[in-house]
Structure 1
C-alpha cells in the first residue's frame, strides 16, 4: 500500500471511530506558481480523487509550475477528512472547506483563493488529456497578458476523438447551448480559434481577467453563454485551444447529491441575461415550450426571486455577538419571514470588549471580499428586520453618490444609535486594514464603529427615521389617525368585499370606508375625480389625520403593511399634502425627500389610483375642486380645464398649492398599470395579483 493510500485508510478509520467530521482549511503554501488548478467538489470523492491523481500521474512535466486548490462544498460529509488529507502528500495543495455559498457561484471563490497568475477551473470529474496542461501553459507563456477565456475540446467517452469543440448558442432541452464540432480543430490542431461558447467543465484564464459570476446565482445552471459574453464585454474573446482536450464524466449512478431544479436554473438565466443585456423573453419562450403547463408557476417564483430589492447589494450582514444567541435568532426569524437573506458575522475568538463589534465588522469585510460582493450592508442584531427594510436600504443606495464608498445611515438620535452601514467594494481593504491596525494599537476603553467610520471619511446620512427600528427603543408609529376610503361602484359589491378584506390587513388604520363611485361613461377620469372629492369630504367629517383614497381594483405589495407603517413614521416629521402610493406609466421619481428613506420628490406623478392625503390639505382640495352637486357649472369648468384628477394634482404641485410626493417603492397597482410599464412593473411579481 502506498503512503498516500495508507493515509486515506487511516483517515477513514479515524472517521469511523469518532463518528464526527472535523476539517480545517489548509494554510497558504507561500510559493510562487504560474497556474492554479482549481476544483470545487460536492460529495464527489471518487471524482475529485481521479481528477487530481490523473494530473499527478499524466502531467508530471508541469507539476513544478502549478498549485492545487480544492474547495469542498460539503465539508460535513464523510469524504471530507480524506479530501483534506491530500494536502499532506500533494505538494502545493490547499484544501478549503466552504459552506457560505452552495451554488455555481463558488467558482468565484476559487479565483479568490488562487495565487497563480492563471487559473484552470475543472469540474471534480474531469480528466485532462495527456499533454493538455503543457499546451495550456505554453499558450499562456506566449500570451502572458491575455484577457481571453481559454477552453478546449471535450473528448468522446472512449477518448478516441473530439466530441465537441464548442457549444452553439441555441436552446436545447431547457439548456442554452448545444454541442458542436468545428472541423478546424482536427484539420489544424496547433492553431487556436475563436468560438462563441463551450461547456464549463474545463476553462482557464488569467486570474485578473476573470469577470466574475453574479453573486446572486442560486443552485446550478445558467452560466454557459453568460460568462462567455462577459469576457467579450470586457474586451476578451473565447478561444478554443485544440490541444487542450478534456474528458467529462456525465454519469452519476448514485444520483446527483446536490440540489438541481428548474427554479434555480431559470432564476440564474433571468438574472444573468438581464445583467449582460440579452433577451429574457427568449428564456420564457424556451421554458414555456419545454416545461408546458408547469412553467407559469415556476416563472412566477423565478421572477419574484430576481425582483428582490436587496439584490442591489452583494449581501446583508448582521454584526452579532456570539456570546448571545437569542438576538441573532430573532433577526434570522424576522428575515426569513420577509424572504430576506442575511448572514451572521461574529468576532474572532478571544476578542475583548470594546473591540468585538470591530472584529465582527472586519470578518464581514473579509466575507464580502471572498464572495465577490460589490457592496455590503451591515446591521446590528438589535435591529428589527421587517419588510420595509430592504426597500429603504435600496433607496438610500440608489441615491448614494458614486464617489461615496462608505455610508453610516442612522436616525435623528445622537450617537449614531441604530445605525446601518453601507460599504462599497472600493473601500473593503482600506477599512479592514485601518480598523485592524487601529484596534491593535489603541488603548481605548470605549469604541463606536459608526463614529470611527465617519472619522475615516464615511458619509454621515441622518434620516428622520432610522432604516430599521431598534428593539429596545421602538414605541410604535405616530398617533395621527389614518383611514382608508375605497371607491366602489354600487353595482359591484363583490369587488368591494374583496378590497375591504385586502386593505383591512394594513396595520394601524382606523377603518376602511366605502365611497360610492360616480360613474361617468363619457369621461371615467372625471367620474373618479368626483368620487375622490367625496372621499376627502368623508375623511374631513370623520376627522381623520389622513386618508388613503384608493380604487377598488388594486393589488398591494407583499410587504405593504411594513412599508406603510414606516412611511407614516417618516411623514410625521415632514411637511406634505399628498403621497402617491403608485405611479402612472409615464411618471418617474425624483430624489429622496427631506432625509426620508421611503418618500421621494414626484413632480409629475399622475397615478391617483391610490393616494394618501394629509388632513391639512382637506380644505384646500375641497375648495379647489367644486362640488359637482351644488356648483355644477363651476365643476364643469374645472373638468374642462383639467380633464382628469391626475392633471389637477400635477398642476397643484407645480403651483405650490399642494406638496405632492411619492412612496418608494409604490405599494399599490393593477394589471393594466403593470402592463403599461409603470415603475411598479420592475417588481411586479411581488404584488398579490
Structure 2
C-alpha cells in the first residue's frame, strides 16, 4: 500500500472506533491520544506493550533521564495491545503526564506483530521500536540518528548488540541461522560489535527487542500472524529482498530484561509458533521440511502434521490470498451472521466494523465504509473484502472460484441494486492500492458528504463504478 496517508490527520474518534471494536467493550477503553502530524518529530520511539506497565514506565523514564537532549524532538508511542486490561488507564495517564508521549490502544489483534502499527502512527521518518522492557545506554539513539543522517533514503534495518544481564558487556551482536529450541535463531558474538565507536557491519539477523529503520522502508508483516510471531530472520529477509541491508550498529546497544518471575503475561503456544513460521516461510517461498522436522523433535510429528494441514487449508487458493473480510455494519441491518459464517467456513479472518453514528443514512453508510478502509490501511490488509449488509457474501466469496483476477482498485463480487426501500449494497474485493485510493477520494468528515454527493452522485453508484464495470440492474435481483 502507498505510504502517503497521514493517520494523525484522522479524527481521534475515528481511530478509536477502528482500533477498539465495540463488541469487545470499547466504551471501557482509554482514548487514543491526539497524534502529531508526520514530519513534526526527528525520531519516533514505539513501545509495544501487553500487561507490562512497569516495564513501559521504566523504559520511558530511562529515555527521558538518559537521553533528555533528544526528547524535545522525539515522539514516544505506547502501543497498548491489551487496552481492556487493568493497566490500560495507568498507561493512558502516563501518556497524558509526559510531553511527547502518546497512547494508542490496539484491541484488534493480539500479537507481537503489533509492532508494525508503529509505522502507521510515526511522526518521524526514523522509527525505533523497543520492547517494553528495554533500556538504551547513553549514546545509543544518537548513533541511530547519525546513521540515518549519513545514509538518507536508506532501506536498511539497523540493530545493535544486546548487553549482558549486568549491562556492562556485549552479550551478542546477532543471531545465527540455526534452529534451536523452537526458534530459528541462536545468539552469537562478533568482535566487531564490541567497540561502540566502530562502524556498522552486516548480520543475518538479531533479536527484535530493539530495531530501527525509515518508516517508508518497513516491509510489513504477514497479516494473519497471531500470538508470538517469531519475526526474526523473516523480517530481516524481507528487508534484504527490498534492497536493504540488515546491520549491526555497535553504538546501538540495548539492555533487555529477560527474567519474568511473575510469568509471561500472554500465551505462547506451539500451535501459534509453528503456524506463524509456516506463514512466514511460505510468504518467502522457502522450503519447510527442515522446520517441521525440528518442531517434530520437540512436540511430536502428529501435532506438527495437524498444524501443517490446518495452515495449508487456510492458505489454499482461492481464499488464502484474501487478508480478511470486513463487515460494514448498518444501523438498520446489523446482523453479520451470514458474512461471518461465509468467512469462517473459508478460514478467512473476519472483523465487524461498527456503524458510524450519523443522522443521515447515506452519510452513515459512507463513513462506515471509510472505517473499513481505515482498518485495512492500519492493519496492512492489502487484499481485503468489504461486505455491506445484504450483499450475499457467501455467493460473493464463492465467485472467487472462477479464477478471475481483481482489477484496480478492486472487483465487484456481488451487488444488490438499490430500489425504493433501500440504497443497495455491495461486496467488493480490493487490490493492494485500492484501499488508499478510496481513502483519498471519500469525504473525511460527515459535513463533507453533501458536497461530495453533489459532485459524484450516490455512494452506491460511485462505489460500483470505481470497482469495475457496472452490471445491468433489476430492482430485486442480486448481481454476482
Report the TM-score when normalising by structure 1.
Answer: 0.60
Alpha-carbon separation, structure 2, partners of 1:26 and 1:394: 44
Corresponding position: 1:419 with 2:426: yes
Distance (Å, rounded) in 2 between the aligned partners of 1:321 and 1:447: 20
Residue pair 1:41, 1:124 contacting (<8 A) in 2 also: yes
Comparing 355-364 with 172-181, greater Cα deviation is found at 355-364
Whether the 8 Å contact between 1:152 and 1:243 is mirrored in structure 2 is yes
What does 1:11-90 align with in structure 2 at a 5 Å threshold?
21-30=28-37, 32-90=40-98
- CA shift, 1:391, in A, is 4.5
Contact 1:318 1:378 in 2 (8 A): yes
* Matches of 1:295 and 1:72, distance apart in 2: 32
Q: Secondary structure at the match of 1:212?
A: coil
**The one of 425, 430, 435 aligned to 2:437:** 430
Question: 1:410/1:349 Cα in 2 relative to 1: closer, same or farther (>3 Å)?
Answer: closer
Question: Contact 1:201 / 1:248 at 8 angstroms: preserved in 2?
Answer: yes
- Any conservation in 1 of the 2:396–2:414 contact (CA below 8 Å)? no
Pairing of 1:423-572 with structure 2 (within 5 A): 423-436=430-443, 439-441=449-451, 448-455=458-465, 457-460=466-469, 462=471
Paired position in structure 1 for 2:8? none
Match of 2:132 among 124, 129, 143: 124
5+ long unaligned stretches in structure 1: 1-19, 467-471, 475-594, 598-689
Q: How many residues align?
A: 445
Partner of 1:479: none
User: Is the partner of 1:167 in helix, strand or coil?
Assistant: strand
Structure 2, unaligned runs of 5 or more: 1-26
Larger Rg: 1
Structure-2 separation of matches of 1:405 and 1:155:
48
Say if 1:112 and 1:370, in contact at 8 Å, map to a contact too. Answer: yes
Alignment-derived partner of residue 296 in structure 1 = 305
Give yes or no for contact 2:41–2:124 (8 Å, CA) kept in 1. yes
Q: Kindly indicate whether the alpha-carbon contact (under 8 Å) linking 2:196 and 2:251 is maintained by their aligned counterparts in 1.
A: no
Q: Which residue of 268, 272, 285 corresponds with 1:264? A: 272
Aligned to 2:320: 311
- The match for 1:186 is 194
1:39 counterpart SS class: strand
CA distance in 1, matches of 2:218, 2:425: 38
Hey, what's the Cα distance between the residues in 2 that align with 1:116 and 1:73?
22
Relative contact order (alpha carbons < 8 A, sep ≥ 6): 1 or 2 greater? 2
Contact 2:80 2:106 in 1 (8 A): yes
Deviation at 1:26, TM superposition (A): 0.2
In the alignment, which residue of structure 1 is the partner of 2:354?
Answer: 346
TM-score (norm 2): 0.84
Q: Quickly say closer, same or farther: Cα 1:449–1:105, change in 2 above 3 A.
A: farther
The Cα of 1:165 is off from its aligned counterpart by 0.2
Q: Name 2:413's counterpart in structure 1.
A: 409
In 2, the alpha carbon distance for the partners of 1:276 and 1:254 equals 36
| Post-superposition offset of 1:334 | 5.5
Gap change, CA 1:273 and 1:167, over 3 Å in 2: same
Shift of 1:306: 3.3
Report the counterpart of residue 405 of structure 2 in structure 1.
Answer: 399
1:351, 1:150 → 2: CA distance? 49
Relative to structure 1, the CA distance from residue 186 to residue 430 in structure 2 (aligned partners, 3 Å threshold; closer, same or farther) is closer
**In 2: Cα distance, 1:425 partner to 1:65 partner:** 33
Q: In the aligned structure 2, how far is the partner of 1:395 from the partner of 1:224?
A: 37
Q: Distance in 2 between matches of 1:337 and 1:275?
A: 23
Please state if 1:206 is matched with 2:214.
yes
**Shift in CA distance, 433/184, structure 1 to aligned 2, threshold 3 Å:** closer
Q: Does 1:105 find its partner at 2:113?
A: yes
> Could you tell which deviates more after superposition, 231-240 or 291-300?
291-300
Give distance in 2, aligned partners of 1:367 and 1:408. 20
**3-state secondary structure, aligned to 2:128:** strand
Q: Give, in whole Å, the separation in 2 of the partners of 1:204 and 1:164.
A: 18
Answer whether contact 2:464 2:470 (CA < 8 A) is retained.
no
8 A contact 1:331–1:385 mirrored in 2 = yes
Cα distance in 1 for residues equivalent to 2:331 and 2:57: 37
Indicate whether 1:148 and 2:148 are aligned.
no
Q: Is the 8 A contact 1:164 1:179 kept in 2?
A: yes
Taking the aligned partners of 1:395 and 1:269, their CA distance within structure 2 comes to: 30
Residue by residue over 1:167-225, the C-alpha shift from the partner in whole angstroms, topping out at 9 and shown as x without a partner, is 00110011001100001112674221111100000000011111111111121132111
- What whole-Å deviation, never above 9, does each CA across 1:537-575 have from its counterpart, x for those lacking one? xxxxxxxxxxxxxxxxxxxxxxxxxxxxxxxxxxxxxxx
SS at match of 2:300: helix
Work out the CA distance in 2 between the residues paired with 1:83 and 1:270. Answer: 34
- Say which is worse superposed, 281-290 or 66-75, in terms of deviation: 281-290
Query: How far 1:357 moved relative to its partner?
Result: 1.7
Can you list the C-alpha shifts for 1:668-689, whole angstroms capped at 9, x where unaligned?
xxxxxxxxxxxxxxxxxxxxxx
* Displacement after TM superposition at 1:360 (Å): 1.1
Report matched runs for 1:581-600 at 5 Å.
none
- CA deviation map 1:458-490 (0-9, x unaligned): 3126599x9xxxxx989xxxxxxxxxxxxxxxx
Cα deviation code 1:77-101 (max 9, x no counterpart) = 1111110012222211110011111
Pair 1:350–1:187, CA change in 2 (3 A): closer
- CA distances 1:115-172 after superposition (whole Å, capped 9, x unpaired): 1010001111111122211111121221222110000001101112111100001100
